[in-house]
């Protein structure tokens, strides 16, 4: 029976090629054996043939091809439909192949390719994989061996999507916000390195890297509170030798729930109580991750977000 070939232009984590000719992109795919098909990846530089002039070329897209040999009858029937159970099954089969190939491609790039600085990106969702966008205008298509290309555009039932972090309100520059930037520049306000680093960590959370954000934020908070505790103990008259003895034995739990409250006035403690509680909840999430009690899908996004926001308030308060 003839082979079924499904193809799609997809986004990939950005890589760079060096001295590739036009024919190199067409003639050198990577081939993978997937659970349901054979997969191939052709890098796509996104520029017309003959128009490239640089030896180093950034590549953000690739063509993925999946070969089914022989193709399942239900898959063939589903590809000819736009809706219904068979179309849904076909879409899910192709999407699972895409995710498997994407993950294997990333793995080989980071290991054998030694691309350690490659940005962390996730495969597209089922819905976006099959839709046309302003960036990715090429749809999923299929053909039987040398036959004509046919577009597969199934109707995918979607739930309300999470807004792209780039388009959330806090990410948008209004004219008023732009003018306020100039005021801040003119005032020459210093920003604590810890505060800026925590803001960078928070952005990872918005890009759905909950595990990394929770661990990195907790580590930064612990370092900050340990430094604060040492300064507090010095001011209380404790000797340097005694501080040296106890500083590494104070846990993050003790720093948050004992040392910090005892060092604050009643008024400051009352004002910061909710933020301290949020940071303590972040600590517990960190512990659950480290001890294997939860996996990344079980991490409460809101708890990590509130913990980081609480830590930002503590940094502002403690570094005054």
Is 124 in the same domain as 41? Answer: yes
Same-domain status, 60 and 113: yes
User: Could you report the per-residue pLDDT of 101-130, keeping only the tens digit for each?
Assistant: 999 999 999 989 998 888 778 888 888 899
Q: Is the pLDDT of residue 267 over 80?
A: yes
**141 and 216 share a domain?**
no
On whether residue 239 sits in a domain, the answer given is yes
Q: What is the mean pLDDT of residues 136-157?
A: 88
Residue 164 has a pLDDT of: 62
What domain range is 247 assigned to? 175-318
Give the number of domains in the chain.
2
* Spatial contact of 129 and 98, defined as CB atoms under 8 Å apart: yes
Whether residue 162 has pLDDT greater than 70: no
pLDDT digits (tens, 9 = 90+) for 1-59: 789 999 999 999 888 888 888 888 889 999 999 998 999 999 998 765 455 556 788 88
**In the predicted model, what is the mean pLDDT of residues 156-166?**
63
The string of pLDDT tens digits covering residues 191-245 is 888 889 999 999 888 878 899 999 999 999 999 998 888 888 888 888 888 887 7
Banded pLDDT at 87 (limits 50, 70, 90):
very high
Does a structural domain hold residue 164? no
Q: Which of 94, 119, 151 is the last residue before a domain boundary?
A: 151
Last-in-domain residue among 117, 151, 185: 151
67 and 127 housed in the same domain: yes
**Same domain, yes or no: 182 and 239:** yes
Structural domain contains residue 31: yes
């Amino acid at each position: 029976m003839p082979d079924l070939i499904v193809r799609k232009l997809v986004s990939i984590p950005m890589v760079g090629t060096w001295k590739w000719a036009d024919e190199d992109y067409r003639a050198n795919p990577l081939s993978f054996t997937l659970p349901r098909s054979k997969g191939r990846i052709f890098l796509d530089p996104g520029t017309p043939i003959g128009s490239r002039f640089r030896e180093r070329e950034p590549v953000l897209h690739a063509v993925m091809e999946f070969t089914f040999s022989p193709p399942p009858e239900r898959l063939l029937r589903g590809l000819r439909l736009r809706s219904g159970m068979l179309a849904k099954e076909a879409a899910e089969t192709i999407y699972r192949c895409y995710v498997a190939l994407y993950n294997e491609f990333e793995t080989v790039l980071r290991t054998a390719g030694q691309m350690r600085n490659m940005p962390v990106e996730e495969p597209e969702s089922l819905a976006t994989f099959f839709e046309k966008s302003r960036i990715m205008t090429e749809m999923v298509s299929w053909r039987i061996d040398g036959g004509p290309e046919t577009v597969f555009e199934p109707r995918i039932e979607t739930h309300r999507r999470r807004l792209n972090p780039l388009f959330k309100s806090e990410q948008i520059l209004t004219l008023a916000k732009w003018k306020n930037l100039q005021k801040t520049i003119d005032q020459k306000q210093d920003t604590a390195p810890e505060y800026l680093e925590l803001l960078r960590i928070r952005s990872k959370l918005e890009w759905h890297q909950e595990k990394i954000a929770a661990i990195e934020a907790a580590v930064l908070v612990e370092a900050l509170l340990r430094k604060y505790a040492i300064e507090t103990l010095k001011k209380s008259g404790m000797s340097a030798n005694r501080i040296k003895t106890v500083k590494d034995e104070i846990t993050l739990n003790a720093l948050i729930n004992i040392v910090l409250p005892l060092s604050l006035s009643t008024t400051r403690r009352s004002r910061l109580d909710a933020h301290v509680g949020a940071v303590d909840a972040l600590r517990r999430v960190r512990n659950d991750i480290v001890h294997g009690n939860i996996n990344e899908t079980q991490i409460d996004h809101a708890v990590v977000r509130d913990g980081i926001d609480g830590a930002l308030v503590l940094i502002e308060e403690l570094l005054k």
